Structure 1
Amino acid sequence: MMSTRAVGLRSAFRQAALGSNSSRSQALRTTLVKRSVQTQSLPPSAAENILNQQRLKRPSSPHFTIYQPQLTWVASIANRVTGVGLSVLLYGYALAYLAAPETFASANVIELIHGLPEVVKYTGKTILAAPFAFHSLNGLRHLAWDSGRFLSLKGAYSTGYAVLGATAITTIGLVLW
């Protein structure tokens, strides 16, 4: 089904010209060009297919491929990854405990860990302590931002480096405790 529509401001100009003298309205009439655009009615699925094809032709943002890594976005990504990782561990252990409470009881877990070699213990503690320390300290950084502090570029970088340093110290402290 094809139809033709007039596109433009002709009617608006015509209304504005009616209140004026006839020579000006004649000039407006001659300068306005009527253009017609052919439209076609499509079912919703066809319109969606056209939109998807147009989206495929758009360039994607180059982000990681051209921009130099910055502390602010690396810390943001790390904060999300550590949060997800810690959540998966917590919920995984909780579900495992619900499924088999005797197997995952505290006494059994302590006995299992006690029998592991020292290298495995320290590696496991580091793998757990580093994300916990970073996520906790970066959360404090975000609370400072929420209170309106350290929002300048210098403040963001100084608190970012402070979080990294405090994460290293806290991780070592938790591993050696």
Structure 2
Amino acid sequence: MKNSAIPGLPGKTKPYVLAHRGNKTMCPENTLAAFRKALSDGADIIETDLHLSADGVFMCIHDDTVDRTTGGHGKVEQMTVDELKKLCASNGNPAFAGEQIPTLQELIEIIPDDVALALELKSNRFLEEAVARQLIDELKAAGIMERTLLLSFSLERIQSV
């Protein structure tokens, strides 16, 4: 096997195990429970989707609304982090009652030094220079920039960052 292609993961060999939205088979997607389960299962990379709350906090949620994965209704970008944190992200599974939509910072706090992040930039807010700069600054401040992959279906979003 070849050496790591991700500079921040020295000593890792390919293939990498990427946990898409965490372990969403056993836990509600894009929750700390799903991310922790993926880590305990040996994931090398944790993938999540990012949207921005109304008050400028990066939130780990796939859809632009909270409707599918919580009991709430509305667009992520029109809700504050406090409003988003009041929602149950159990996706209807009573075993995960009380699970919340995590912030990017909460995810970063549970990522070990030998695991990378893959962040899908879902929102067009990432086209704004200030938002792109905020993301890079947060990743650098957390010391995880070298272990972060940025993804998007939008070339413009990637180029803005």
| Structure ranking higher in helix proportion | 1
TM-score (norm 2): 0.20
TM-score (norm 1): 0.19
